[in-house]
Structure 1
Amino acid sequence: MDASALPVRAAVPALLAALAGRGAAVLSAPPGTGKTTFVPLVLAGLVPDAAGPGAGGGKVVVVEPRRLAARAAARRMAWLLDERVGRSVGVSVRGEHRPGALVEVVTTGVLLQRLQREPELPGVGTVILDECHERHLDADTAMAFVLDVRAALRPDLRLVAASATADTGPWARLLAGEDGEPAPVVETAAASYPVEAVWAPPARTPPPPHGMRVDPAFLAHVAETVRRALAERGGDVLCFLPGAAFIAGVAGALLDAGAEVLQVHGQAPAAVQDAVLAPGERRRVVLATSVAESSLTVPGVRVVVDSGLAREPRTDHARGLGALTTVRASRATADQRAGRAGREAPGTVYRCWTQAEHERLPARPRPEIELADLTAFALQAACWGEPDARGLALLDPPPEAALRAARATLHALGAVEPEAAGGRVTERGRALARVGVEPRLARALIDGSREVGARAAAQVVALLSEPPPRTAGDDLTAAWRALRREGPPADAHAARWRDEARRLRKALDEASTGDAPGRPAADDAVAGTVVALAFPERVARARPGGGHLMASGTGADLAQGSALAAARPPWLAVAIADRPAGSASARIRQAVVIDEDVARLAAAPLLASGEEVAWRDGDVVARRVERLGAIELAARPLTRPDPARVRAALADGLRAEGLSLLTWSPAATALRERLAFCHRSLGPPWPAMDDAALLGHAEDWLAASGARRRADLSRIDVAAALRGLLPWECAARLDEIAPERVQVPTGSRIRVDYSGEQPVLAVKLQELFGWESAPRLADGRVPLVVHLLSPAGRPAAVTADLASFWREGYKAVRAELRGRYPRHPWPEDPAHAEPTRRTKPRKR
């Protein structure tokens, strides 16, 4: 093995010294330096000329975040030793187990399973957590568990956190020893050449990514940028795209590009993976997801074309929906991708955005623990003895709301005890965790095997355990039938499905669930039972107006023109759904047609029946209802509903439709206005009269009136109800504080208008002759505003100071009106004139 040129070789002595002294270290080594393949061989004692104190001493376990990267690393190390995988170097990923004698490459999921079974990790001397900078949730969890093992069980276990970035401070502090000193950081210089950045934005700014959707015109621009790179630069081209569907679309646009086009993503066949990792005989274009950012070394690449897009998980905890969404990549991710062009020689990166946009990108990607569904994490933590995760050494704590939702899900599955009992894991929870799939799927496997048989349950769960290919369509049963056809697997997805179905069947056997034959049933019933057991809240019933309603209460729509939509199924078990941004309804990606019997069986925990008394469609509706979550199955009227619940429903109706449901007589309206004036002027104990305040008393009024339906509301005596709100001292002084009428000099009693901000007395001007001032209300705090009316009842003047009006304003009013109303008195000195309601007598 000739690894003398690998840059990481120079850092080996420092790493060995750090492990010998502290037992833990952080290795900062950019991609291509040999950290993933050379360092494990050294630590296992398989590179004699590089060995030193700290080499050897137990198996070296290398932990990778992805299956593709784990297989590639194992093959590369075996090739360096001139061996086959399975001798000195082995690999263990889901569906493949070829143990090695001295080095074993595993995925984070495999390590978590192993830690739960054998936390001491017998025979293991060193654990290398590779690519820890990517902040995958399983990797963060595995790191926390291994730190626990070192602290409590295996102080001799060596631990290396390997990162492709220079941001090592958080990891060094996380790996600190008992003295609190951060773990040693060993750095390796980058094995890189200068990379020229070419800004290659589209001519028109594309709309931002929306959920899983990316503007097709932008993808066409990415393909054109690849063509430009092929024309302007030499070497292979590595193009980063956010998902397999986008890779396929760009690949289709490059069929005539004059280069071999390879598609690399988590579902790519092993042959394609092997072809990417070996030098090509002709020029290549490698279209890859983030798997090629740091986990894989692609030889021959001199050019990177970066779409600038990435994928992040999003979880709608309220609706039980989760999906990946397309986002703008961070600056750190963009730098990581660009570095791939300078691994073997000077290179070029074509960035499909502007330099100004680059400066506005987030500095680094968000850790998965902040974004993902935490149900699997919560089960792992509970099995580890940390149900609230507070004792785990995590760089970022789990969001409280997301962890609470995850623990609620686990409790519903019977995996953990209630929060009040400590939330500890149950035996059922441990059985679910041992299956090695997400807890909901594990529940569907174990419980489904009793209903439909172990073989069928394993096959359907295997189908649910990874994203379906783009060609699968939305009918899961049709996809299952296609995969069951005899003969060799048609593609990589089919091969993985068969391997996973066999693994799950074995997991059932190990769990001693028995080989339950299940009841004979059609494919839809079998698949639907398993899907509904996994996602009972996604059982959905057709709505009269179109679409479906899921048991969670969320609307769900099939794609127009799909096979399932054409069948107009009355019931569905929804396997995959997401909710587009800004949409109230979910979008069904894959589902199974079922009937009500299957829905009732599989989603039985959501079945409930009870009395329902509620305000609906403008009146009180009292029924006995049977529901499957939010789905109404049956209902019949209640003849004698609970009066208290009837009152509550009527109060809900008042809150929903307003106090206009009551009969507001003129007297009641006027009283409300008077009381509102008192509260506004004097405050408590005078009661507030706004809608919210009055609605707070609605149930008391309803109880006193005996109202049972909408029609009864109109018979409530609102004026009496308002008076009933007054304390006795207020009731005794109401006419003093806010008199309903005020007597004017003629003896007339004029009604006061309290509907505005200030009380108003509207009276004919002649009736106020001789009146120097109007009374002040609210214990003298508020002046009474006087609207002086003409003989025809029209406003002539407004004043709150009559004495001033007689002196200054009256002359102008007299001059304007005396000619129009000559039969009415217009004395020159109104302050001392006789008030009158009458006109002057006619002259004979």
Structure 2
Amino acid sequence: MTSSAAPAAGEARQAVFDLAAIGAELPAASLMPRLHDVLTQTTRRPPFAVVQAPPGSGKTTVVPPAVANAVTGRVIVTEPRRLAARSAAERLADLSRTRIGDAVGYAVRGEHHIGPQTQVEFVTTGLLLRRLTADPELAGVDAVVLDEVHERDLDADLLFAMLREVALLRGDLALIVMSATLDAQRWSSLLGDAAPVLTAEVPLHPLTVEWRPAPVGTQRLDARGVTPGFLRHVATVVAAKSREQAEGTVLAFLPGRREVDAVVARLRDSGVTALPLHGSLPASAQRAALAPLGTHERRVIVSTSIAETSLTVPGVHTVVDAGLAREPRLDAMREMSGLVTVPVSSAAATQRAGRAARLGPGTVVRCYSEAEFASAPAQARPAITTADLTEAALMLTLWGDPDAQELALPDTPPRASLELAQRTLVRLGAIAPESGRTMRWRVTDLGRLIARMPVHPRLARALIDGAALINGDRRSAVTLAAEAVAAIESDARAPGGDLPALLHELRRGGHRGGHRSRRAGSTEGSHSQADAAVSPAAAHRWQQDVRRLVALMPDHSSTSRSGVSHSSVDADGVIAAIAGLAYPERLARLRSSDSGPSNSGPSDSGLSYQLASGTGAVLPRGSALRGSQWLAVSEVSVARTGEGSGAMIRAAAPLTVDAALVVGAGLIEDTVESEWRDGRLSARRVRRLGAIELSRAPARLAAADARAQVRSLLATADGLASLHWSQAASDLRDRLHMLHRELGDPWPAVDDAALSGRLDDWLAPEIERLAAGTATAGLDLASALRRLLPWPDASRLDALVPERLEVPSGSWVRVHYPSDDDAPPVLAVKLQECFGWQQVPYLVDGRVPVQLHLLSPAGRPLAVTMDLASFWQDGYRQVRAEMRGRYPKHPWPEDPTTAKATRGVKRTPRR
């Protein structure tokens, strides 16, 4: 096939792809006639369609050229990953017998192989999303094919909704959505107007399922990630299955590249030919994993989830599934986000298993139990519902729909996550309120610059500000800042969380021996102190990213945010400054109780930090950063740790306290805090960087400030409780509470909320005394409360709720009034003093009966009653039988209703 220049708009294009040759032996080739009809019919404009075909059917190979033959302009095909975009383009170019960059090309981060004759262009979803927000018309593009939409990538969801809107406005842009799962009808509904669903049936061969859970006592996951024991178990299963088959590929699924590299290293140590497959590999290593097998050749491919649907691994007859996946998670409370390891969904597990039965009878070995499979979620959660939405919120605002109310998104972003993202963008200066519109956002000029940069908005802003802080000429400063940003954003892992060490390796160009895996047994997070060395390919990508960022930076520095100090930063401190500017809430200080010497041995001292956000976090054991007083943290993940802090530091750089004050200037706050100390008002002037206390010193308050501080303390939840309440004051408050409960107005409410709201009505003189230094013990709160008594009703206080009641013996006994709403007043009195009483007394004008607590001569409870007549008739007999022998000197008459009440013992008659 030879390529030709694209025809003019509206001109019919000569078929440039030999579809018969490309689709030979591919089940998805059956879709081509129907797809051509959809694209060429004039009754449906714009042309929409959903293509459903299982993994391995060839839809990614045959649909793009079929679309290209039916339209006049360029066809763009999106893939969720760089590896998938590159691989799909190379395969189509090979089948078309043309070079990459001619009829078929691709563009991913750091690579651009597109020419003027390119008809089919494979790109990542993120790249097309940025292109679309810059050029919403997509001039020169006649069709977009969204591949693997079922993966629910965040960029893909946004892209789907925006492209649908563009297609409806243009009327001539074809939009083809491709899915490997059975949710095609949902995508058809989202496209609208009953978009046709084209399905390629691919019958599976018989599939045998084997269950090989790890040995008893071996967990798949613990607080630090995938356990080394489980990885050993997976490697053992993979090695055994590889030796069982004479030829072909054993495809093993692990959740991330670190687990992949660990299992590959263990397999190679045991003599098994094993290749890794993940997005961080050099292109040559990726191509090696996807190359066809030779006759009677056998091998093992250990892959991340990228091989579930996006790629076709040749010769697979056996799949070994660890049953784990990585998913994005946002902790909105702590403003932390990242990838977490979770059990794979049953849909993804089915996709993985299906890879084994495409060519013939196959086997899937699940390294977990049937019960775990049954309890797995049906589908993975869409990233738009779980991920950090800062970049998405910027794209939505650029699109003119900041609250995502008009776009046909497959799922609505959570309100709290979107509002958090918008607050972050406001702090970055990327968006601002639209004039005359409440809660409507617009993108600022700075925000447009940030949106052009292929990094997180926080890092884009840090690049702009960091370049202004660095010593030296403008170009050198921008380059240093770009190097730091590209290192933080790169796929390469900081060893032990050490960002300066990572930057050093990237500048060196990576290790000299090609890609090197960590030793067997190492795994995610702090299960291992070592990390994979930086590969030359990773270093090359980093260099490309640096050049691209430098090219995007304006020549002037007027965009630097005014809130950042212009203190200079030297070259050694650049990456810490960039990390601190991007994530000031993650500035961290070593906990004072954990500040042992950094060479104190294998203990965990020197690892525990407090972040400016208030969260505690720990470094991995063995980190070279251990013991650093201050860290600028660029990556922190939610985790359970030995310290129970809830976060693990994955990437950070040490910095001085002066540098922390510069990059964290926006979080520094000076406040005066007050407390009751030894019963008196005590004030301290406190300086904090976020939640990190920098200094504390005694403060002398002016009279007005002292009064304000007293009021502030009294307004807290336990403010009134901190006062010294005497027994008389507490009793009066309880009596008033009873009156308000029973009679309401004009008797005042005296609960904490009511009293705090009326401080000037009852406590004003005492507030002046407290502000002048009087101790709380010196206040007469009973007199203060009497200021709330209503007049003239106050004269009846003692009649309605008396402090004491006279009992038949002549004693005056204190009444205990309840502080809660349901309890009755209580009179605790010795039983003998109540002889002759026929009923309990009533208070509040006869509304409230008193509950009697009848006591023994020793003051111990004998009975509780509010029905004295019933007690005398029934309960008293049992009490009398039990007590008369224990207390013989006290009267226990047979008829207590007629006996004389007494406070003492029985009189002994004189002889």
1:323 deviates by 1.7
| 1:431 aligned residue | 449
Unaligned 5+ residue runs, structure 2? 1-20, 471-476, 516-534, 559-565, 595-607
CA contact (8 A) 2:164 2:191 kept: yes
CA contact (8 A) 1:618 1:710 kept: no
Q: Does residue 715 of structure 1 match 2:757?
A: no
Separation in 2 of the partners of 1:436 and 1:564? 29
Letter in 2 for 1:168: A
| 1:462 aligned residue | 486
1:537 deviates by 1.4
Separation in 1 of the partners of 2:830 and 2:568? 93
Aligned in 2, Cα 1:141/1:362: closer, same or farther, shift over 3 Å? Answer: same
1:619 deviates by 6.7
Unaligned 5+ residue runs, structure 1? 46-54
CA contact (8 A) 2:762 2:787 kept: no
1:796 deviates by 7.6
Letter in 2 for 1:554: T
More displaced stretch, 271-280 vs 426-435: 271-280
| 1:202 aligned residue | 214
Secondary structure, aligned partner of 1:223:
helix
Pairing partner for 2:815 from 752, 758, 770: 752
**Which whole-Å deviations, capped at 9, do the CAs of 1:781-816 have from their partners, x for residues lacking one?**
444455667778777877656667777888898899
Secondary structure, aligned partner of 2:225:
coil
Q: Does residue 742 of structure 1 match 2:818?
A: no
| 1:78 aligned residue | 93
More displaced stretch, 128-137 vs 826-835: 826-835
Q: Does residue 473 of structure 1 match 2:493?
A: no
Separation in 1 of the partners of 2:53 and 2:824? 78
Secondary structure, aligned partner of 1:345:
coil
Pairing partner for 1:527 from 540, 563, 575: 575
Separation in 1 of the partners of 2:551 and 2:839? 99
| 1:327 aligned residue | 342
| 1:49 aligned residue | none
**Which whole-Å deviations, capped at 9, do the CAs of 1:639-669 have from their partners, x for residues lacking one?**
225134312443267x44872x443433334
| 2:189 aligned residue | 173
Separation in 2 of the partners of 1:806 and 1:256? 91
More displaced stretch, 603-612 vs 441-450: 603-612
CA contact (8 A) 1:615 1:652 kept: no
CA contact (8 A) 2:739 2:747 kept: yes
Pairing partner for 1:368 from 383, 407, 410: 383
Give the TM-score normalised by the residue count of structure 2.
Answer: 0.83
Secondary structure, aligned partner of 2:326:
strand
Q: Does residue 276 of structure 1 match 2:276?
A: no
Q: Does residue 44 of structure 1 match 2:68?
A: yes
Separation in 2 of the partners of 1:699 and 1:227? 80
1:96 deviates by 0.4
Q: Does residue 121 of structure 1 match 2:138?
A: yes
**Which whole-Å deviations, capped at 9, do the CAs of 1:577-605 have from their partners, x for residues lacking one?**
11214843432122111112222222232
| 2:199 aligned residue | 187
| 2:370 aligned residue | 355
Separation in 2 of the partners of 1:719 and 1:694? 13
| 2:153 aligned residue | 136
1:443 deviates by 1.2
1:841 deviates by 8.7
CA contact (8 A) 1:524 1:593 kept: no
| 1:159 aligned residue | 175
1:346 deviates by 1.8
Separation in 2 of the partners of 1:643 and 1:102? 75
| 1:381 aligned residue | 396
Q: Does residue 226 of structure 1 match 2:268?
A: no
Letter in 2 for 1:146: L
| 1:105 aligned residue | 122
Pairing partner for 2:630 from 530, 549, 571: 571
Letter in 1 for 2:489: S
**Which whole-Å deviations, capped at 9, do the CAs of 1:547-593 have from their partners, x for residues lacking one?**
3322222223223332110xx22221112211214843432122111
1:462 deviates by 1.0
Separation in 2 of the partners of 1:422 and 1:626? 35
1:167 deviates by 1.4
**Which whole-Å deviations, capped at 9, do the CAs of 1:90-122 have from their partners, x for residues lacking one?**
110110001042111111111112112222212
| 1:485 aligned residue | 508
Aligned in 2, Cα 1:494/1:657: closer, same or farther, shift over 3 Å? Answer: farther
| 1:9 aligned residue | 29
CA contact (8 A) 2:509 2:540 kept: no
| 1:513 aligned residue | 555
Q: Within 5 Å, which residues of 2 pair with 1:578-589?
A: 578-581=637-640, 583-589=644-650
Separation in 2 of the partners of 1:780 and 1:561? 76
More displaced stretch, 213-222 vs 633-642: 633-642
1:146 deviates by 1.1
Q: Does residue 306 of structure 1 match 2:358?
A: no
Aligned in 2, Cα 1:182/1:725: closer, same or farther, shift over 3 Å? Answer: farther
Secondary structure, aligned partner of 1:587:
strand
Letter in 1 for 2:155: D
Secondary structure, aligned partner of 1:31:
coil
Pairing partner for 1:408 from 413, 423, 445: 423
Separation in 2 of the partners of 1:112 and 1:792? 85
CA contact (8 A) 1:740 1:751 kept: yes
Secondary structure, aligned partner of 2:60:
coil
CA contact (8 A) 1:382 1:424 kept: yes
CA contact (8 A) 1:555 1:586 kept: yes
**Which whole-Å deviations, capped at 9, do the CAs of 1:703-734 have from their partners, x for residues lacking one?**
43132399722222232244444444663333
CA contact (8 A) 1:647 1:703 kept: no
Separation in 1 of the partners of 2:894 and 2:322? 91
Q: Does residue 288 of structure 1 match 2:314?
A: no
1:232 deviates by 3.4
CA contact (8 A) 1:32 1:191 kept: no
Secondary structure, aligned partner of 2:572:
helix
Letter in 2 for 1:271: S
**Which whole-Å deviations, capped at 9, do the CAs of 1:311-366 have from their partners, x for residues lacking one?**
11111223221121111111110111111112222211111223333222211111
Separation in 2 of the partners of 1:243 and 1:348? 23
RMSD over aligned Cα, in angstroms?
3.5
1:423 deviates by 1.3
Secondary structure, aligned partner of 2:195:
coil
1:62 deviates by 0.9
CA contact (8 A) 1:651 1:699 kept: no
More displaced stretch, 488-497 vs 235-244: 488-497
CA contact (8 A) 1:446 1:508 kept: no
Separation in 1 of the partners of 2:93 and 2:487? 32
Over the matched positions of the two proteins, sequence identity in percent amounts to 48
CA contact (8 A) 1:619 1:709 kept: no
More displaced stretch, 419-428 vs 288-297: 419-428
Q: Within 5 Å, which residues of 2 pair with 1:228-247?
A: 228-234=240-246, 235-247=248-260
| 2:413 aligned residue | 398
CA contact (8 A) 1:608 1:626 kept: yes
Aligned in 2, Cα 1:42/1:417: closer, same or farther, shift over 3 Å? Answer: same
Secondary structure, aligned partner of 2:654:
strand
**Which whole-Å deviations, capped at 9, do the CAs of 1:210-268 have from their partners, x for residues lacking one?**
46512322222211221232243442100000011111221222125543100011111
Secondary structure, aligned partner of 1:411:
helix
1:620 deviates by 4.6
Separation in 2 of the partners of 1:407 and 1:413? 10
1:160 deviates by 0.5
CA contact (8 A) 2:430 2:446 kept: yes
| 2:80 aligned residue | 65
Aligned in 2, Cα 1:157/1:714: closer, same or farther, shift over 3 Å? Answer: same
